[in-house]
Amino acid sequence: MADTHCPYCALQCGMSLAVPSGAAGPAAVVSPREFPTNRGGLCQKGWTAASVLGAPDRLTTPLVRGASGELEPASWDEALDLVAGRLAALAAEHGPQSVAVFGGGGLTNEKAYALGKFARTVLRTPNIDYNGRFCMASAAAGMNRAFGVDRGLPFPLEDLGGAGAVLLLGSNLAETMPPAVQHLAGSRERGGLVVVDPRRSVTARLADDGAGIHLAPVPGTDLVVLLGLLHVILAEGLADLPYLGARTTGFEDVARSAAAWWPERCEGVSGVPADDLRRVARLLASASPSRGGRGVYVLTGRGVEQSTQGTATVTAAINLALALGLPGRVGSGYGAITGQGNGQGGREHGQKADQLPGYRKIDDPAARAHVAAVWGVDPDSLPGPGKPAVELLRSLGRRSEGDDGPRALLVHGSNLVVSAPNATSVVERLQSLDLLVVCDFVPSETALLADVVLPVTQWAEEEGTMTSLEGRVIRRRKALEAPGEARSELWILAELARRLGSAVAFPTDPAVVFEELARASAGGPADYSGLSHARLDADEAESGPGLFWPVPAGNPAGTPRLFLERFATPDGRARMVAVDHAGPSDDVRPGAPVHLVTGRVLQHYQSGAQTHRVADLERLVPEPYVELHPVLGFRLGVTDGARVRLTSARGWVEATARWTDAIRPDTVFMPFHWSGSGSVNRVTTDATDPISGMPEFKVCAVDVTPVPLEAAR
């Protein structure tokens, strides 16, 4: 029996995994265990997590594309020699920037750290980013700008339970992180749950029957809702002025900008009734600590962050929270709901294009010197900032005159063919590469395009650490051996470094890698220097639930709650920044008159590479679908259960129509867990936020047409 954590989302629910002696993966049995985030509960994905360990198409040997054009089994020596030789030749002919690395938010802290180190010391390329750019980049940019540090939740998730009100924007927790819903029970009982979503999602329904309020804005106008709420708070004298004077800067500019967004104007843009905006603002103010309330939390998720104005929307949410005097007070605050299992830790230790371990900026000379000393290299040898994910993907394989786009890409823990925006263009870029290498444990759609596929270990086959959405560092434990010749990325990176002639050490023991990570992070915003596998194990043995960073050396308890005394800015004050609404990059228009929003379903995860291989989950939701209001369906001639085509400026996608009154009549919804003609990211835009580089997954304009019966057949 191994005590570990779920391999899926950043809630990182506690679970135990039992493997009968001599049994293979399918015989492993999952059982929930008491842990602060899930309190003994699991969602359907968690309960069935062990099924993926025995997937019938599990990758167990390296594959190399042969003369026939097919992927064929190869030995590790053959595969790694080929990769190293091609990488060395490309770098020699075109420079180190001709090689790129794309990581994943599901990698352990140890593997994320080693991948960033490998890119910068062995490949010496600036071109590294990861799929967390699709997940948390706008929230990270907004929090860094306002607070000086980014930790998704600067407080334990459990704190939500005592609040009088919770404002939740752009997150369908009941389907994406079901065990988290229990932490909303307190605000629901007090009538204080406010959910902002253009759909009446499962989460929005939690606000029914006196439990709260659901606001359904026009897609892409969440920023307007926040500006309207702030306007009411200020106009009605509900702001915490002593807090603003003592703990913030920039309030005057923000107040002037919010004055332009009175509720009736907001209603005209967002569709949210002015009276509802006033009612929500007053509810939040009455629950705020400055008015003797139980406390308020403002939470944002991907629905408002995956936007060309995602950073501005997060900033507006933070401005609202600051106006109410919430951040840095026990029982109140602002937080962002991290999606991927290690989305937090993955960006802290070197996968992001502009960061070094410990959440240090790569263009900071002091940061470069510190990390270079740990790695044993000259600081001047480290590359500078690279391209954020979407820009990096656009640059792949291009051959225009003077272009130095990467000609080789190493992919770890990401299925770009399904998960990237404007996916058809991404496939074209991947196919134009001289070398595509994919590390995976199943033949994902991206792996099937690769020149070399390297089989890697899964969650239950490795030791390591993860960092949850709360900044809680926890242990992942090995329960069984990997099948066939599957190897850890730590081993693969060490072998490639050796073949490429690097003198930099790449240990393969996760505990040793973590000790190095801790030293590299020392003194940074995400300081892990007081942690080790041994200390985390001892903490858990004493019924401790993991430790919250920062945990500098000598810190006995970590930091569960940030900002209680000061913010992580030079003057200790939070920075308020005025923002304004510009609207989505791809708005409705003649020829594309309907808003498309995308999201998840309870049974599937990300690109579906794991959950589509779980029979129980696949049976429940076997194919993609399009939700649309009956009024829209009747107007367009799309009947319930018929095939429907969505067409955007980038391509088209088809799925089965589902009529529902739980969505705005000007909007359709489609989940993003499928590939092929049902891959909604074939139509999403790759326009990005100018500050965070995050793509605008969540809203674009489409034409909606029925598929003729003969074509559907």
Side-chain-facing half-sphere of 3: CA atoms under 13 Å: 14
Q: Are 34 and 40 in contact (CB under 8 A)?
A: yes
Q: What would be the CATH architecture of the domain defined by 137-337?
A: 3-Layer(aba) Sandwich (3.40)
577-618 residue pLDDT tens: 999 999 999 999 999 999 999 999 999 999 999 999 999 999
- The answer, yes or no, to whether the previous bond of 365 is cis (omega within 30 of 0) is no
Report strand pairing: 212-215 vs 435-440: unpaired
What number of other Cβ atoms are within 10 A of residue 509's Cβ? 12
Q: What is the dihedral of CA 126, 132, 134, 136, to 10 degrees?
A: -120
Instruction: Please give the Cα distance from 656 to 712 (Å, whole number).
Output: 10
Q: Average pLDDT for residues 340-359, to the nearest whole number?
A: 92
Share of residues in the chain with pLDDT > 90 (%): 93
Q: Are 98 and 91 in contact (CB under 8 A)?
A: yes
Q: Average pLDDT for residues 523-540, to the nearest whole number?
A: 95
Taken in order 616, 617, 622, 625, is the CA torsion positive or negative?
positive
Least confident among 118-127, 334-343, 455-464, 592-601: 334-343
Reading the block at residue 365, the tokens are 């000379």
Q: Within its chain, how far is the Cα of 579 from the centroid? A: 24
How far lies 337's CA from each of 164, 284, 659, 662, in Å? 19, 20, 29, 23
Whether 500 shows a pLDDT value over 60: the answer reads yes
Q: What is the pTM of this model?
A: 0.96
Q: Are 51 and 615 in contact (CB under 8 A)?
A: yes
Q: Are 617 and 8 in contact (CB under 8 A)?
A: no
Q: In the chain, what is the straight-line distance between the N-terminal and C-terminal CA atoms, in Å? A: 49
Instruction: Please give the Cα distance from 179 to 166 (Å, whole number).
Output: 17
Identify residue 332 by its one-letter amino acid code.
S
Largest alpha-carbon pair distance within the chain?
74
Confidence class for position 338, pLDDT limits 50, 70, 90 = confident
pLDDT value of residue 402 = 58
Whether 401 shows a pLDDT value over 80: the answer reads no
Any idea what the Cα angle at residue 567 is, between residues 563 and 569, rounded to 5°? Answer: 160
Whether 421 shows a pLDDT value over 70: the answer reads yes
Least confident among 87-96, 161-170, 345-354, 690-699: 345-354
Long-range contacts of 51-54 (CB under 8 A, 24+ apart): 51/26, 51/613, 51/614, 51/615, 51/616, 52/7, 52/442, 52/458, 52/610, 52/611, 52/613, 52/614, 53/25, 53/26, 53/28, 53/458, 53/460, 53/461, 53/480, 54/24, 54/25, 54/26, 54/27, 54/28
Whether 713 shows a pLDDT value over 60: the answer reads no
630-647 residue pLDDT tens: 999 999 999 999 999 999
- At 98, is the secondary structure helix, strand, or coil? helix
> Comparing 401 with 54, which gets the higher pLDDT?
54
- At 653, is the secondary structure helix, strand, or coil? strand
How far lies 380's CA from each of 127, 363, 375, in Å? 17, 11, 13
Report strand pairing: 248-249 vs 574-575: parallel
Q: Average pLDDT for residues 347-369, to the nearest whole number?
A: 95
User: What residues does 574 pair with on adjacent strands?
Assistant: 248
Q: Average pLDDT for residues 426-441, to the nearest whole number?
A: 97
Q: What is the dihedral of CA 19, 21, 22, 24, to 10 degrees?
A: -10
Whether 26 shows a pLDDT value over 60: the answer reads no
- At 88, is the secondary structure helix, strand, or coil? helix
Q: Are 110 and 467 in contact (CB under 8 A)?
A: no
Identify residue 375 by its one-letter amino acid code.
W
Cβ within 8 Å of residue 652, ≥6 positions away = 645, 646, 682, 683
Q: Spell out where 171-324 has E strands.
A: 193-196, 212-215, 248-249, 296-300
Q: Are 118 and 84 in contact (CB under 8 A)?
A: no
pLDDT value of residue 712 = 54
Q: Average pLDDT for residues 283-299, to the nearest whole number?
A: 97
Any idea what the Cα angle at residue 94 is, between residues 92 and 96, rounded to 5°? Answer: 70
Whether 420 shows a pLDDT value over 90: the answer reads yes
pLDDT value of residue 708 = 86
CA-based nearest residue to 610, from 126, 134, 194, 48: 48
Q: Residue 214: what are its φ and ψ, rounded to 5°?
A: -110, 125
Q: Are 408 and 98 in contact (CB under 8 A)?
A: yes
Fold classified for 594-712: Barwin-like endoglucanases (2.40.40)
CB-count exposure of residue 484 (10 Å: 0-12, 13-18, 19+): exposed
- Each domain of the chain, given as residue ranges in start order, spans 137-337, 594-712
Whether 399 shows a pLDDT value over 70: the answer reads no
Q: Are 453 and 73 in contact (CB under 8 A)?
A: no
Whether 24 shows a pLDDT value over 70: the answer reads no
Whether 693 shows a pLDDT value over 80: the answer reads yes
- At 231, is the secondary structure helix, strand, or coil? helix
